[in-house]
Structure 1
Amino acid sequence: MDDDDAFLDGFSRGEVSGFTHQDHVRVVYLYTRKAGGEAAVELTRAGLKTLTRRLGVPEKFHETVTVAWARLVSEQVEAAPGRDFTAFIGDNPRFLRKDLLEDYYSREVLFGSEARSRFIEPDLRPLHR
């Protein structure tokens, strides 16, 4: 098993520690490369729900943030396949911005209670090109 497979395996079981923003992006990148964009959204959602439950903070799971990030990253991965994660981030440094979704959503919509429990489309500009 290579490092990427081990990383995804640990993530899917909720057995990762020190899970950073870049790790979130890497999860979507790897799932998209393995299974495609739609599957990446579902696999990322399932893994984050498992991880937050396992850490005892299930309330930290945010449906809109999860789906929006997964869609943005997977769309870019599918548009330019074949690069490793380091090259992908080098070509797409915007994905290192934790506040990137605020380009698409007003804070009121993104951080409202409804967006936490179900996916809400952006109110400032569409996620897809």
Structure 2
Amino acid sequence: MTDEEFLASFNACTLPPEQFSHAGHIRLAWINLQRHDFDQAVDGTCRGIRAYATHLGAATKFHTTITVALMHLLRAAGAGDRNVSWYQFVSANQELMHNARAVLGRHYSSQRLDTPEARERFVAPDLQPLPV
């Protein structure tokens, strides 16, 4: 599926839920980071995931801090580089693709990340700053 097809299907809420696994979340963020400045990419990604989750009846699953923190990490890993394809990005960033919780754990304690406040709005890390 091309980026355009993925995005159109996601935005129309017709993307099958099994295609919106962790990799799907990362792909959505990557597409937005490719096309927009950081703040717009974060806003679009958060709004999109929230709308998709609501459509699926899972609105409470959306976690603002995890989404925004991962976007910081993706940007630092080169997600905004328009000379890098999705497949090149995935190949170069296996840890973010397969062990994102561990990467987040370098920045956030579970006590901080597992709070209702962190779910509702972005909270700063308590272990190590996120890359800028």
TM-score relative to the length of structure 1: 0.89
1:12 correspondence with 2:11: yes
Cα displacement string for residues 37-64 of structure 1 (whole angstroms, at most 9, x for unaligned residues): 2221111101101111000011111111
Distance 1:83 1:6 in 2: 19
1:121 correspondence with 2:120: no
1:111 correspondence with 2:110: no
Partner of 2:79: 77
TM-score relative to the length of structure 2: 0.87
User: Where in structure 2 are there 5+ consecutive unaligned residues?
Assistant: none
Identity %: 30
Q: Give aligned pairs, total.
A: 127
1:32 correspondence with 2:33: yes
User: Where in structure 1 are there 5+ consecutive unaligned residues?
Assistant: none
Cα displacement string for residues 92-118 of structure 1 (whole angstroms, at most 9, x for unaligned residues): 222111312112100000011110111
Deviation above 3 Å: which 4+ runs of structure 1?
A: none
Distance 2:64 2:71 in 1: 11
Partner of 1:21: 22
Note the aligned Cα RMSD (angstroms): 1.6
AA aligned opposite 1:8 = L
Partner of 2:87: 86
Q: Structure 1 residue 70: deviation in Å?
A: 1.6
